[in-house]
Amino acid sequence: MTIEQPSEEDRAQASPKSIEKMRKFVRNFADKSGSFLHPQPEITEFLVIGLAKNIDELGKPLCPCMFFEDKQEELDKKFWICPCEEMQRWKYCH
């Protein structure tokens, strides 16, 4: 199965500065935590865009894979553990 590359429209959802910041964050997190980037690079890129969008909108890299009814409430909890089965089982973010 293949996924399309993120489009310019996808990338336009976040600032280039935040995208680059989250790209570095994701690489560093994988290196330090013993986890991995997704084997399909386009999935990692969509993750980076989602994190960057949340940085721009909320000031924090809230997980873009989850639906939060109230994102600000979630941020206020200051407790974000990735609940994704893929991360726990395969050690890479989807």
Residue 81 included in any domain:
yes
User: What mean pLDDT value characterizes the chain?
Assistant: 84
Number of domains forming the structure of the chain: 1
pLDDT at 84: 63
The residue-averaged pLDDT of 57-76 equals 86
Is 65 a catalytic site residue? yes
The residue-averaged pLDDT of 66-73 equals 86
Residue 42 included in any domain:
yes
Q: What is the pTM of this model?
A: 0.80
The pLDDT confidence band at residue 2, using thresholds 50, 70 and 90, is low
Residue range(s) defining the domain that contains residue 57: 14-90
Residue in 63, 65, 82, 84 annotated catalytic: 65
Instruction: Say how far apart CA 31 and CA 81 lie, in whole Å.
Output: 18
Residue 8 included in any domain:
no
CATH of the domain at 31: 3.90.460.10
Check whether 16 has a pLDDT greater than 90: yes
3-state per-residue secondary structure call for 22-90 = HHHHHHHHHHHHCCECCCCHHHHHHHHHHHHHHHHHHCCCCCCCCCCCCHHHHHHHCCCCCCCHHHHHH
pLDDT at 31: 87
**2 against 51, higher pLDDT:** 51
